[in-house]
Chain A
Amino acid sequence: EPEVTQTPSHQVTQMGQEVILRCVPISNHLYFYWYRQILGQKVEFLVSFYNNEISEKSEIFDDQFSVERPDGSNFTLKIRSTKLEDSAMYFCASSWDGNNVLTFGAGSRLTVL
């Protein structure tokens, strides 16, 4: 079964450092997403990406965050100047179209010290 793969599985960083989380969506999917889940809290939408641009973003997704699809396979989330409260599990997801079911990756756990 096709999978969404994410790297790294766990990243520890110092406050103020930049982090890049990587995702390889399912190959024929056209829509890409990032969600995050702070420990013990709900899964929250960050951003959706289609046709090489952001199609929607939440209020969480401020100037500290950016996404990019640098080549035909990777989809990255960059967090600049990380804060303690950025510590969370970050899930990448993809779907074939905007109405279809999302497939989530296994997540990247970010710990900011």
Chain B
Amino acid sequence: RKEVEQDPGPFNVPEGATVAFNCTYSNSASQSFFWYRQDCRKEPKLLMSVYSSGNEDGRFTAQLNRASQYISLLIRDSKLSDSATYLCVVRILTGGGNKLTFGTGTQLKVEL
């Protein structure tokens, strides 16, 4: 089983649509959770951290279910500029600090 699993997509949605991405992780020792955004051939950039109580940042809402080892990202009122690959990322704290495990990403294409 993959450590972090995501539907690769692509998700093609019209501008203004609401879209949801899901992610599952296999290691129950995972302690921190994130959504990163990656544009084509660019570096990953942190979109938002994901907290157990769920959290929102503008049009973006993230949810975490530790019992099911499941993370989600909801994007409301999608914009053309939201087109990117969304990476589900988990962290297991070790002596080495920030070892992040990335999913393969879900590609989003927002169209006119």
Total residues of chain A contacting the partner, CB 8 A: 27
Please state if A56 and B43 are interface contacts (CB–CB under 8 Å).
Answer: no
A87 close to B (CB within 8 Å): no
Contacts of A93 in B (CB 8 A): 98
Given A43-B87, A105-B43, A107-B43, check contact A50 B100 (CB 8 Å).
Answer: no
CA of A12 to CA of B16, assembled, Å: 42
Chain A residue at minimal CB-CB distance from B99? A45
Please state if A48 and B98 are interface contacts (CB–CB under 8 Å).
Answer: yes
The listed residue (A43, A89, A105, A109) touching B102 by CB distance below 8 A is: A43
Distance between B63 CB and nearest chain A CB, rounded to angstroms: 20
Classify the secondary structure of A's interface with B. strand
A83-113 interface bits toward B, Cβ cutoff 8 Å, 1 = contact, 0 = none: 0000001010101011111101111010000
Please state if B98 and A31 are interface contacts (CB–CB under 8 Å).
Answer: yes
CA of A106 to CA of B41, assembled, Å: 9
CA of A105 to CA of B45, assembled, Å: 10
Please state if A104 and B94 are interface contacts (CB–CB under 8 Å).
Answer: no
Distance between B25 CB and nearest chain A CB, rounded to angstroms: 13
CA of A105 to CA of B42, assembled, Å: 9
Chain B residue at minimal CB-CB distance from A31? B97
B70-112 interface bits toward A, Cβ cutoff 8 Å, 1 = contact, 0 = none: 0000000000000000010000011111111111110000000
Chain B residue at minimal CB-CB distance from A45? B99
Which of A42, A93, A97, A109 counts the most chain B CB atoms within 10 A? A42
B residues engaging A (CB < 8 A)? 32, 34, 38, 41-46, 49, 87, 93-105
A residues engaging B (CB < 8 A)? 31, 33, 35, 41-45, 48, 50, 55-56, 89, 91, 93, 95, 97-102, 104-107, 109
